Amino acid sequence: MYRILLPLLFLCFCSCQNKATKKSSPNTPPNIVLILTDDQGYQDVGVFGSPNIETPNLDQMASEGVKLTNYYAAQAVCSASRAGLLTGCYPNRIGIHNALGPDNTHGINSEETTIAEMLKTKGYKTAIFGKWHLGHHPEFMPNRHGFDEYFGIPYSNDMWPYHPQQGPIFNFPDLPLYENETVIDTLTEQSQLTTQITERSVDFINRNKENPFFLYVPHPQPHVPLFVSDKFKGKSKRGLYGDVIMEIDWSVGQIMDALKKNGLEDNTIVIYTSDNGPWLSYGNHAGSALPLREGKGTAWEGGQREPFIIKYPNKLQAGKVVDVSVMAIDLLPTLASLTQSKLPELTIDGKDVWKVISGETTKSPQKAYFFYYRVNELFGVRYGKWKMYFPHRYRTMEGQDPGKDGQPGEYRMVDLEEIELYDVENDESETQNIADQHPQIVTEIKLLANDMRSRLGDSLLELEGSETRQPGRLD
């Protein structure tokens, strides 16, 4: 009997040891889950100050991970923001501007390296479930840019025949739902899309628990039109918008549970953020960036500063808050460092900010961050605690009637006529222009801006003795 039992006990012990070693080995490449929402405001998460939207899973994620309070999207509009996130470049460097639609014939260039392509060279399985928005023609689709699996829509969920301004302003075709490069449905409503994206994500995790993976989950919500499944309809004190955020929070919980059940929780980097600020003209169907100024489509804080939570139990101290500025362009080089991947051969703008995120340092490897908009207009610069704006035209809802129940209100345009400077560390709402009080800071930022203009240009200002750069790949 002992001769039988002892070998069995030894085999069980070895099996347990091997599993433990796999789970905790520092040489095991980390899995990566990147969750991106669409048009979510800075305030629209419990731990970021929402007074009326419950987000228990995100709140728990923050308590077990790290919360960044000064994280910026790469730009204040969908396609450009996603281009910067996935390539580590300012979007104007790679010629992606504004929000691509069904009529656009261009998209992400094959010469660019996405996070997915970078990680595939290290043996990662890759998937995107959600909204792509970097070109819908075959050569621009996700499967051609490093993703093994794709399920979702090619551009924004309002680019369909049911847009409230269809006819007078837009003429959108049907909205296709893709499985890889095949259209599997034409969407006439979207209430099950968040659930379907979540189910695909959980299934992908279950199927790939034995090898490293990169799961990119760019939710089409809470971009208008808002849709939510019956399980969350009417649950929030914030109305339909709050219901949508609660369902996305549920989705985060499902993904976290899948990681935990598969023994992957400790060695998985999970990131949650948004592509830009709230679309304020939609009123009660828009999010909130409070206490920040303005929203989507502007370089003010509310346009690009986003909620950001990262969890990585193997490497990050739970419950930490980081106030140092970080931008989406920094994610690719940071993930490259964590996975020991090779950086793209073409010039990128991001830097490895892992030491900032982990709290090892409060000194950013970036001298400054640059806020471009439209095609190639430099609107502002973040420099330490300072945020400076150059003269430009922007949109605002101040003094206007916002939209309601899915119908948009009208913006008014404002001309910023002089340079304005704000101490966003102490005045995050950008209420006190102190440019006159800090001429030296203004001069320092101008020098940084001129250096960036020499590389990326600025269609608002042609430098003396310097050619204004045209859109496209700028190196």
Is residue 366 within 8 A of residue 407, CB to CB? The reply is no
Query: Which of the following is catalytic: 97, 133, 163, 223?
Result: 133
Q: Which residues sit opposite 413 in a β-bridge? A: 395
Q: Which residues touch 339 (CB under 8 Å, ≥6 apart)?
A: 29, 30, 32, 119, 122, 124, 212
Cβ–Cβ under 8 Å, residues 90 and 381: no
Question: φ and ψ at 411, to 5 degrees?
Answer: -75, 160
- Which positions ≥6 away from 107 have C-beta within 8 Å? 96, 100, 134, 135, 136, 137, 139, 140
Distance (Å, whole) CA 391 – CA 412: 17
- For tokens 């034995």, name the residue: 210
3-state DSSP assignment of residue 94: strand
Tokens of 71: 């994280």
The answer to whether 133 is a known catalytic residue is yes
Q: How many helices (H) and strands (E) does the chain have?
A: 10, 17
Tell me the C-alpha distance between 241 and 284, whole Å.
7
* Rounded Cα–Cα distance for residues 256 and 251 (Å): 9
Integer Cα distance of 121 and 110 in angstroms: 16
* Contact between 107 and 139 (Cβ < 8 Å): yes
* Catalytic residue (one of 78, 89, 145, 392): 78
Both structure tokens of 121: 């060279």
Phi-psi region of 267 (alpha: psi -120 to 50; beta: other; left: phi over 0): alpha
User: CA-to-CA distance for 12 and 459, rounded, in angstroms?
Assistant: 67
Query: What's the DSSP call for residue 469?
Result: P
Torsion, Cα of 151, 156, 157, 161 (10° steps): -120
Which of the residues are catalytic? 78, 133
